[in-house]
Structure 1
Amino acid sequence: MTVETKHLGIFLFADVEELDAVGPWEVLSFWTSKWPEDGWKVFTFSQAGGEVRCAKGLTVRAEHSEADRPNLDVLVYPGGQGTRAHLADQPRLDWVRRRREDGTLMTSVCTGSLVFAAAGILRDCPATTHWAALNQLSELDPTIELRRDDRFVDCGDAITSAGVSAGIDMALHLVGKLAGTERARQVRRGIQYDPQPPV
């Protein structure tokens, strides 16, 4: 019997923070390429597809556009300066709400959670974001229980993470959630992620 492949999509947009997207990509692509039997694939997409210029000047190419992407089982919404425009972009917020309504597991890195908050999908949930944006997260939705010191917060159908490098922690947690703790440990060892800050 063939198991239907499930998909993790990383959303790219102008001025996305590089590591917010590439950190989870490293974790998830290592997992899905080394253990295809787990039944997951990861891809990147943007609204129009093609090249995307990131916050610090790196240019990346999205594999898909919104129109031709595979179905989403998990959405990874990175942060960066580019999210600020999304907070008042009603079509974008409606799109986020539709993903939640269609059963997509919603995950964010850094200020991606601000977009989730603006869309109203973190109501009455614990959540986090980059330390410098915690107050803004609370202002967008005062019902959110701020987790100021957590690297990531899993409230069931939404997972948020703190800033930039915390997206790696969130993605490893996601592997554990979808494929088990031992698989997540294998991925962590495979990418040699063992944080010991030098300063």
Structure 2
Amino acid sequence: MADTKHIGIVLFDDVEELDAVGPWEVLAYWTRTFPEDGWSVSCISRSGGPVQCAKGLVIHAHHAFADAPPLDVLLHPGGHGTRPQLRDEEHLDWVREARREVPLMTSVCTGSLVYAAAGLLQGRPATTHWGALDLLAELDPTIDVRPDERFVDDGDVITSSGVSAGIDMALHLVARLAGADRAREVRRGIQYDPEPPV
């Protein structure tokens, strides 16, 4: 449909696999199963080509940053690949530009470190992977770090904690964008009902 709204998941070398693929599963199931909701999701990378993830999985982006459709939601995953991004002015400038254009910025795990380095989290509540909470506070001491929350929704920015928390955040995103009943249908569709086995 002509007025489809777009969600873009950022890919980069050394991205944590589940940070990107967990939300992809939720959002792709939603958008493909319920196209009448008017949303689509795609993966974007700087070059538009493949990236090698943190544990060796290779994923190919649908679009380059330059030719991605206009985004209504941006999702920035974490992983070891975020560490060089904290000093990569080209990437940080791209994130800042996205902030000016994209109504809703979301992150998984250490993706919030990139948002902090880009100045997007000043004075805001936010979270990240438990192992990076101190670094989040160090990058921007004005951040209200929330160590115990799976995700923190601060209106136009949502951050989530480590790895699997991205699935919870993505379901919350579906609830925000299409209602709680739809989110429950998606959760049941992907049979996500966590009860840790150990």
Question: Shorter-normalised TM-score: what interval?
Answer: over 0.9
In 1, are the aligned partners of 2:13 and 2:51 still within 8 Å (CA)? yes
How far apart, in 1, do the equivalents of 2:66 and 2:142 lie?
A: 34
Q: Secondary structure at the match of 1:121?
A: coil
How far apart, in 1, do the equivalents of 2:128 and 2:102 lie?
A: 23
In 2, are the aligned partners of 1:10 and 1:43 still within 8 Å (CA)? yes
Q: Secondary structure at the match of 1:72?
A: coil
How far apart, in 1, do the equivalents of 2:73 and 2:89 lie?
A: 22
Establish whether residue 107 from structure 1 lines up as the match of residue 112 from structure 2: no
- Superposition TM-score, scaled by structure 2 size: 0.98
Q: Secondary structure at the match of 2:43?
A: strand
In 2, are the aligned partners of 1:3 and 1:39 still within 8 Å (CA)? no
Structure 2 residue aligned with 1:14: 13
How high is the sequence identity, in percent, across the aligned residues?
68
In 2, are the aligned partners of 1:10 and 1:77 still within 8 Å (CA)? yes
Establish whether residue 128 from structure 1 lines up as the match of residue 127 from structure 2: yes
- The residue correspondences of 1:1-40 to structure 2 (distance < 5 A) are 4-40=3-39
Q: Secondary structure at the match of 2:9?
A: strand
Shift of 1:148: 0.4
How far apart, in 2, do the equivalents of 1:67 and 1:114 lie?
A: 23
Structure 1 residue aligned with 2:182: 183
Establish whether residue 192 from structure 1 lines up as the match of residue 191 from structure 2: yes
Q: Once the two structures are superposed, what CA deviation does each residue of 1:7-55 show, in whole Å capped at 9, x if it has no partner?
A: 0000100000000000000000000001101000000010001211000
**Runs of at least 4 residues off by over 4 Å:** none
Shift of 1:68: 1.6
Q: Once the two structures are superposed, what CA deviation does each residue of 1:90-122 show, in whole Å capped at 9, x if it has no partner?
A: 121111111111243100000000000001111
Letter in 2 for 1:42: V
In 2, are the aligned partners of 1:15 and 1:80 still within 8 Å (CA)? yes
Establish whether residue 67 from structure 1 lines up as the match of residue 66 from structure 2: yes
- Superposition TM-score, scaled by structure 1 size: 0.97
- The residue correspondences of 1:84-163 to structure 2 (distance < 5 A) are 84-163=83-162
Root mean square deviation, CA, Å: 0.9
How far apart, in 2, do the equivalents of 1:121 and 1:68 lie?
A: 24
Consecutive unaligned residues in structure 2, runs of 5 or more: none
Q: Secondary structure at the match of 2:80?
A: coil
How many residues are treated as equivalent by the alignment? 198
Q: Once the two structures are superposed, what CA deviation does each residue of 1:116-135 show, in whole Å capped at 9, x if it has no partner?
A: 00011111111000000000
Consecutive unaligned residues in structure 1, runs of 5 or more: none
Letter in 2 for 1:67: A
How far apart, in 2, do the equivalents of 1:103 and 1:164 lie?
A: 23
Shift of 1:3: 6.0
